[in-house]
Amino acid sequence: MSLHRSECGGAMLPSFKDNSGSHGSPINGKLRGVFLSCNTEFDTGLPPKDSPYGPLRFQISADRLLNPSTNLYFADFYCMYTAYHYVVLVLAPAGSEGDSFCQSHLPRLDLSTNPFLTYTPGDVPAFCHASDVILEVLYTEPLLLEHGILAQISGRHQLMSLSTANAKKDPSCKVCNISVGR
C-alpha cells in the first residue's frame, strides 16, 4: 500500500482498458480509466467481505464519482461462460478527455432512470445499483487515495484464472449476444 502512495503520487492512475469482455467494445485498448466494482452484499448493502480482484480494497464515497457534473455511459454487457453477467459503465467528468471520447463512441445513460447505476439529487443524495449483474465502472480520471479508504481485506481472492485480462465473452450465450438480421 505504501508503494502505491509514494510511487504514484497518492493516486490511482488511469490505464487503458484491456481486451476482456465483448470483442467489439469501443473502449477496449482505447479508453483510459480506473476500474471499480459497484457490488454490495444483499443483506447489508456493504462491499463484499471477499473480492475476486485481490487482497486490497479502495473504498470511495459514491458522491465523489457520481454527481451532476459526471456523465454516465454504457460500455459493455457480457458473460464469461458462467451464469453471471457483467455490465461495464464509464463515468466521465463533463468536459474531460474521457467524456469527449465517450460522447462519440458510447450511448449516454440518464443518471436517474437507467437500469444499472442511478443518482437522485437531494439533501441526502440517493445512489442505487443493479443487483442482478456484476457491475464494473471505469472512471476516466485519477482517484486520489486521500478521498477514500485503502485497506487490506481478508478472505479468499479467487479468479477463474490467474487473470481476467483479455477474457472473452461466451459467444453462445442467448442473454448477452444480440443477433441482428438472422
pLDDT, tens digit only, all 182 positions of the chain: 444 455 667 899 999 998 888 878 899 999 999 999 888 887 888 887 777 777 888 889 999 999 999 999 999 988 877 778 889 999 999 999 999 999 999 999 999 999 999 999 999 999 999 888 889 999 999 999 999 998 888 766 555 433 455 566 777 887 887 654 43
* H helix or E strand, kind and range, residue 97: helix 97-105
> Which residue is associated with the grid cell 485503502?
150
Query: In this structure, are strands 86-93 and 134-139 parallel, antiparallel, or unpaired?
Result: parallel
Kindly calculate the radius of gyration of the chain based on its CA atoms and give it in whole angstroms. Answer: 16
For 114, residues 6+ apart whose C-beta sits below 8 A from its C-beta are: 72, 74
Other beta carbons within 10 Å of 176: 18
- pTM of structure: 0.85
Strands 117-120 and 126-129: antiparallel
